[in-house]
Structure 1
Amino acid sequence: MPNQHDILCAITWQNDQLHLLDQRKLPQEHQLMALSSATSVAQAISDMVVRGAPAIGITAAYGVVLASKAAYAADPNHWQTLIETNMQQLAQARPTAVNLVWALQRMRGCFAKISGNPVPSLLEEAQGIQQEDIDANRQMGDLGASLLPSDCQVLTHCNAGALATGGYGTALGVIRSAHAAGKISQVYADETRPWLQGARLTAWELLQDNIPVTLLADGAAAALMQQKRINWIIVGADRITANGDVANKIGTYSLAVLARQHGIKFMVVAPTSTIDMNLESGNQIIIEERAMTEILMIGGQSIAPNGAKAWNPSFDVTPAALVDVIVTEKGVVKPPTTERLATLMK
């Protein structure tokens, strides 16, 4: 009988359309959106229907398929020119996750080899990107799990599971593999304000697999560490620079600082498509800032007085010096340095 994460997939291609599980509505509603245009795909990425760096890249790849279908129907001889507007729309949907641009570049790399209708070739490439991500996640799961001690208690932040990837997950992939090996005794999940991905998505995913999970307010993590109830912190990443700096969901940096203070190991799990060797350090990463209303309201209800303003960066950057290990499908970098990452990426 398959595990829940084997059948839980946030991204599926069916009947010439892209189907996305609307993650804004979980866990209360399990609602699929059927998208038939690249513009609607870009909007879905921007609106957080789908989120998580690998999942965003995969979704964008399918967006290219839809764009090519429309462009070829409009002008079979000039579809590569017509598709450019959609390529730009997709690239600009969210600026921080490097997998988005990586996937678009990989899809573009197919253009020159295509004669005739581009849809079959591009669809095959997009599906290949998704399957490779699932395979990579399982490899990372096993590599990361091998680093954990028995009776391990871990803390994770945001959602880096099947919902954020092609399937299985990065950080949650390690947790799944470690739990299957009998190594995990307890998982703690930060609620992850303001979108509450930890509360809505991570806790839900883990419960589908009967993995024990305890939710905590983001501000409670320090007290949990002080009481020595955590052995490892395991998170995903949206971009890793050449020196090992890590951009991830806002609140990750504070966890890394707290982990170092309390002698707790800090693991980042991400495919090599998340590593951006074109950026020397995290100072060069563009950090997406989202609407103030995400902070000022919860579930459509105002929680702040009229006139209050809010600062809402979606990500922060954790310096490589605070990261004990980066786990990728190609191997483990421990601790991350420019030289070690360069060797990994050769």
Structure 2
Amino acid sequence: MSSDVRTIEWAGDGLRLLDQTLLPARVEYATVRDVDALVDAIRRLVVRGAPALGVAGAFGVAIVVRQAAREGWDDARRDAAIARVRAARPTAVNLAAGVDRVLPFIAEGVDAVVAEAQAVLDEDVRGNRAIGAFGADWILGRLGVDRPLRVLTHCNAGALATAGWGTALGVVRELHGRGRVELVYADETRPLLQGARLTAWELDQAGIPCVVQADAAAPSTILRGLADVAVIGADRIAANGDTANKIGSVGLALACAAAGIPLVVAAPWSTVDLAVPDGAAIPIEERPAEEVLAWGGARTAPGGVDAFNPAFDVTPARLVTALVTETGVLEVAAGTAPCRRARRRCRRE
């Protein structure tokens, strides 16, 4: 992605967001200055992706504090508004973590909150670069082939989903920088087409060869031997390594296991929720039925039919070959490094 395009940044009096609902047709920004606009932007996916949501949550507290001072709110109303931001999307743990990190700075004033939120953003960019390097090293070492690789990815875990560079796509970008990418298969990611609209746009901007495929084609692509590795992001990872990611990820994981190729999950350590023992305890967001039942404003299903529209699924740890964070690589499926025990060891490395 072009270096002059920023997904999220503080604009002095509000949060400036690249409106991802308009991509790839238009590159436009929205500046949010109140809690209603921020919650709406989060829920409508103007800003999305677990790391970016963490940054939005941190700056969101600053927005609330500014609005509370401007409109004369008491502490109870201010705290209720912060809770709305924190709960705007329940599956991605980073959103709540970003909010919680800056809460202690409220007593020091809005400038202190903004400074800590900026630290969250800066750490994410640095961490993404490390994820890219660790992931590329591990993949090249694991595959042991001296040729460019065919990589499959699902949804969008690039610069658009983070404060910069990307997690899963950060790994791809690092591989590309080393001359080791032949082709990227970008799943379209139904029903909102984050892969077709966002991932393909990022790859095209970066000059990385890619094709878009239907989600249902991905397992066949893997089983036909057309992909060497699948690299995806995550919205929450349980203590045992179970991983929540965009709906459709489980199908990739099963196909990877059947084909004997690695499934690599790339995510910042903040996505690991040690308070959640396993995937069964991860809340799964369900989104509006209209996303499935209609397209372009026209209904595509019979009028009397409803929809089931979970935004995420959970891949069991036994199917996750490796978890790449900014602290290193955990080989989850091997059972040698569950997240709860691995944190200290990985940080030492």
Give TM class, smaller chain: over 0.9
| Residue aligning to 2:347 | none
- Is contact 1:243–1:280 with CA below 8 Å preserved after alignment? yes
Unaligned 5+ segments in structure 2 are 141-146, 345-349
| Residue aligning to 1:24 | 21
The correspondence of residues 192-341 of structure 1 with structure 2, limited to 5 A, is: 192-335=189-332, 337=335, 339-341=337-339
- In the alignment, the residues of structure 2 paired with residue 315 and residue 230 of structure 1 have an alpha-carbon distance, to the nearest angstrom, of 23
Deviates more, 1:136-145 or 1:25-34: 25-34
Which amino acid in the other structure matches residue 174 of structure 1? V
- Is contact 1:141–1:176 with CA below 8 Å preserved after alignment? yes
- In the alignment, the residues of structure 2 paired with residue 310 and residue 97 of structure 1 have an alpha-carbon distance, to the nearest angstrom, of 22
| Residue aligning to 2:342 | 344
- In the alignment, the residues of structure 1 paired with residue 261 and residue 298 of structure 2 have an alpha-carbon distance, to the nearest angstrom, of 37
- In the alignment, the residues of structure 2 paired with residue 212 and residue 80 of structure 1 have an alpha-carbon distance, to the nearest angstrom, of 52
Offset, 1:229: 0.8
- In the alignment, the residues of structure 2 paired with residue 102 and residue 223 of structure 1 have an alpha-carbon distance, to the nearest angstrom, of 37
Identity of aligned residues (%): 44
TM-score normalised to structure 1 length: 0.94
- In the alignment, the residues of structure 1 paired with residue 196 and residue 306 of structure 2 have an alpha-carbon distance, to the nearest angstrom, of 25
- In the alignment, the residues of structure 1 paired with residue 331 and residue 78 of structure 2 have an alpha-carbon distance, to the nearest angstrom, of 42
Per the alignment, do residues 264 and 47 of structure 1 end up closer, same or farther by CA in structure 2, a change over 3 Å counting? same
Q: 1:180 aligns with which of 177, 180, 185?
A: 177
| Residue aligning to 2:106 | 111
Q: Secondary structure, in 3 states, of the residue corresponding to 1:154?
A: strand
Offset, 1:74: 4.5
Q: Deviations over 1:90-109 (max 9, x none)?
A: 01211100001111110113
- In the alignment, the residues of structure 1 paired with residue 121 and residue 96 of structure 2 have an alpha-carbon distance, to the nearest angstrom, of 15
Offset, 1:338: 8.4
- Is contact 1:330–1:344 with CA below 8 Å preserved after alignment? no
Unaligned 5+ segments in structure 1 are none
Offset, 1:335: 2.4
Offset, 1:81: 4.4
Q: Deviations over 1:277-315 (max 9, x none)?
A: 001000001100111110011222222222122110000
Offset, 1:82: 4.2
The total of aligned residue pairs comes to 337
Offset, 1:73: 3.7
- In the alignment, the residues of structure 2 paired with residue 5 and residue 175 of structure 1 have an alpha-carbon distance, to the nearest angstrom, of 16
Per the alignment, do residues 8 and 338 of structure 1 end up closer, same or farther by CA in structure 2, a change over 3 Å counting? farther
Offset, 1:79: 6.2
- Is contact 1:57–1:100 with CA below 8 Å preserved after alignment? yes
- Is contact 1:21–1:32 with CA below 8 Å preserved after alignment? yes
Q: Deviations over 1:101-149 (max 9, x none)?
A: 111110113235x1xxx11111111111011001000000000011223
Q: Secondary structure, in 3 states, of the residue corresponding to 1:33?
A: strand
| Residue aligning to 2:54 | 57
Which amino acid in the other structure matches residue 83 of structure 2? Q
Per the alignment, do residues 208 and 343 of structure 1 end up closer, same or farther by CA in structure 2, a change over 3 Å counting? same
Q: Secondary structure, in 3 states, of the residue corresponding to 2:125?
A: helix
Q: Deviations over 1:262-283 (max 9, x none)?
A: 1111000000110000010000
| Residue aligning to 1:83 | 78
TM-score normalised to structure 2 length: 0.93
